[in-house]
Structure 1
């Protein structure tokens, strides 16, 4: 049995979606490719989503899928902003990473012009000099590094300042950079006719230092705003808005500020399938659990709970990964030898703990209400009436078991004896003991929960 969901090997720029697409992202991939190929005006597209929503998984595959699976012509580049935010100015790092991915013909004839213009536009950066002196820079390309590398470590700062002093004029350099970028998109690649777009994927932007993240947005807006050059930002716009406030103060309209830079936003779908769509979290869970070797009874039972919970609780892929790992830690005998009522309550408690609902702590402190359980599972009255067309047997079981525990066995007589026998042969057990047993099962080996 595996503790973590298996992750297929990914080779950047070579691994697309193919048959390994548990999130059903191929449709979104093709729509994005179609957009950047059709539109000539410069675009900055925010792939907006919370942490753990699968943005990086999607973007790292899309840059390969664009040409290999979607018949795109654009040159695609992946730039991990967080990996470069030790620098003071993102322009040198960005031009270096782009240059590494361009066809050799373009590199020889045009990209030297881009790098030269970038050198005149970027600002002095003592942090870069220190990193070069200590051998800490491995991915940064550009004239500054060449100049710095020639100097002795004790003279590194002086060399950097002298290099930047040779600036001919930032306005002229900006025009040179833009002209070179336009020429770059007009190069014939693989017999193509017409402009060949350049699409730069900037990932992990919201994890960067606020100053660096905002500086990168300024660079994109002022230096790379030319036809057929597009940017796709993997970002949580809400978190990026916090960076804006951290930089400019709480009084700024952060959302309006970000609209200066972002042309449009797109969200990854959280459901799979056009007809009878299922929550993405459920589909991912049912695909990954068997691959991890989790007990089939546990998978089937957990899926019925997850299908109800996913309707009202926003579960990210990271959440589902943690749920899968937690389930893998539980002794398989819980789902094969324990009374069926214990199995249901164990699953409820796992879901309570991982959804920031606070319900697990309430259950243990004897303050949980049946209404809170119903709200968590989206249980409506019609789902509990056998004669009603909306009857849902799983909802009926969950409601009845929790009512038995919350009322300590003193709830309505209807079906209470049956629910009492869900935990012991003769239905004479202590309802509070159920929670102690369930909590012991999931706490023996447990990951940190959302409830703390």
Structure 2
């Protein structure tokens, strides 16, 4: 037997010549519209690409970044989550800009290196050590540096006056430094754009919602206040709901998060939900699973259609679909018999339950057959909405047969009981009747379900390359 070769789902490859070559989610139109939008502004703006976890934000902005590069629009990519081990967001941002200068060539690179050198010096002024505080003086007093109460009181008074003067001086210096900092940034942006005033420098900030709350807030503040320079555009890719949780963790649960974020974000763009069923086909092909899925079962009913329907019914995110395919890949290559028609649909179902409803998945055992099946049927029906057009009634019928084998019951009676329990209409009832006719020759037992569960669990023993 040949050696088993396994790999996990890879990130979408962004082709340099054609960034939309592997665009299975049809993002091209969104990117073209957003490009037209940001290039119509000469002022600094902050645009937020808002989408939930696992909806493809990173792939979207990397695809967009390559598209901008092909339009000769300069870009910088900053992964905030990879940088939040630092204590200062400004240092991290400037460091990323400094690294990106290596991509420039010729006179632009030479000029940019001189400008970034000036910026480094200006940033140093923002991070000067604070002056001694009254608390520090108290420590000195306690250690014997000051003796009498009068001396301490006089020293505190003198220190307060000197601190005020020093703080005012520092404020005046910081205002001058900020002006010089922004002027240098503006020069750098022009340098990136090769002198074209109509080309913005686009700085993408990714994974902000995964950062430590304090670091995420600091990135927002620095982007808005220090980088508020003409022709610099910030694009944040984040889940605003999750970012809101981070902000409330710092400022309290009663904070108006939307009001707070409006201080930093000029425009929101809600990333449209992708046609997820197309993505699962792409993943299956990438892993070589398409050869298993491109066959018909249950009277010429396509297996890939069943997969697409159940993925859509449970609304798996793109990231959850990747996890689903990784598990499926290992299961079908190590337990070939679960590809039999009476097992494969349950392989899909149990795999999804493991990802979305782990407690229900774990409850499957030999001693709670009826309870488990009843809970799964209830779970399936909880996913349905009035507009669902998925044809998965055969799955419900097969689950019912686990509890009441066909040799021991009338399927008409079973359907009637099921229809009454969930108050189904006549259309649904007829679908169930048709499905029972379809699956009469297929049997599934509790042992089959346990075998499938074991095949799924094998995936946790593999290390994916």
Maintained 8 Å contact 2:224/2:264: yes
Could you tell me how far 1:407 is from its partner in structure 2?
4.5
CA RMSD of aligned residues (A): 3.5
Which digits, 9 at most, give the CA deviation of each residue in 1:103-124, with x for residues without a partner?
Answer: 4154156444433332222355
Structure 1 residue matching 2:205: 3-state secondary structure: strand
Gaps spanning 5+ residues in structure 1: where?
126-164, 272-278, 384-389, 424-428
Pick which of 249-258 and 412-421 moved more: 412-421
Maintained 8 Å contact 1:302/1:347: no
Question: Counterpart in 1 of 2:258?
Answer: 255
1:243 aligns with 2:246: yes
Structure 2 residue matching 1:269: 3-state secondary structure: coil
Question: Counterpart in 1 of 2:236?
Answer: 233
Could you tell me how far 1:302 is from its partner in structure 2?
5.4
- Please show how residues 160-171 of structure 1 align to structure 2 within 5 Å: 169-171=173-175
Structure 1 residue matching 2:23: 3-state secondary structure: coil
Question: Counterpart in 2 of 1:2?
Answer: 6
Which digits, 9 at most, give the CA deviation of each residue in 1:266-303, with x for residues without a partner?
Answer: 233332xxxxxxx22x2122122123222623365653
1:438 aligns with 2:442: no
Question: Counterpart in 2 of 1:208?
Answer: 211
Could you tell me how far 1:193 is from its partner in structure 2?
4.3
Could you tell me how far 1:422 is from its partner in structure 2?
0.3
Could you tell me how far 1:77 is from its partner in structure 2?
0.7
Which digits, 9 at most, give the CA deviation of each residue in 1:10-56, with x for residues without a partner?
Answer: 69xx5762423233322222222222211223211122223332222
Maintained 8 Å contact 1:45/1:231: yes
CA distance 1:337–1:111, shift in 2 (3 Å): closer
Maintained 8 Å contact 1:295/1:332: no
- Please show how residues 33-432 of structure 1 align to structure 2 within 5 Å: 33-68=35-70, 71=71, 73-102=72-101, 103-108=108-113, 110-122=115-127, 124=129, 169-187=173-191, 189-190=193-194, 193-271=196-274, 279-280=275-276, 282-294=277-289, 296-298=291-293, 303-331=304-332, 339-356=340-357, 359-361=360-362, 364=365, 365=368, 366-367=371-372, 368-369=374-375, 370-376=377-383, 378=384, 394-407=391-404, 409=406, 413-414=411-412, 419=439, 421-423=441-443, 431-432=445-446
Whose RCO is larger (CA < 8 A, sep 6+)? 2
Pick which of 356-365 and 218-227 moved more: 356-365
CA distance 1:34–1:358, shift in 2 (3 Å): farther
Q: TM-score if structure 1 supplies the norm length? A: 0.72
Which digits, 9 at most, give the CA deviation of each residue in 1:44-93, with x for residues without a partner?
Answer: 1122223332222222332222121xx2x432111122222222222122
Separation in structure 1 between the aligned mates of residue 317 and residue 454 of structure 2, nearest angstrom: 26
Gaps spanning 5+ residues in structure 2: where?
102-107, 131-168, 296-301, 413-432
Structure 2 residue matching 1:169: 3-state secondary structure: helix
Separation in structure 1 between the aligned mates of residue 385 and residue 252 of structure 2, nearest angstrom: 43
Which digits, 9 at most, give the CA deviation of each residue in 1:118-146, with x for residues without a partner?
Answer: 22223559xxxxxxxxxxxxxxxxxxxxx
Could you tell me how far 1:259 is from its partner in structure 2?
2.2
Larger Rg: 2
CA distance 1:101–1:6, shift in 2 (3 Å): closer
Maintained 8 Å contact 2:19/2:63: yes
Q: TM-score if structure 2 supplies the norm length? A: 0.70
Select 1:24's aligned residue among 19, 26, 42: 26
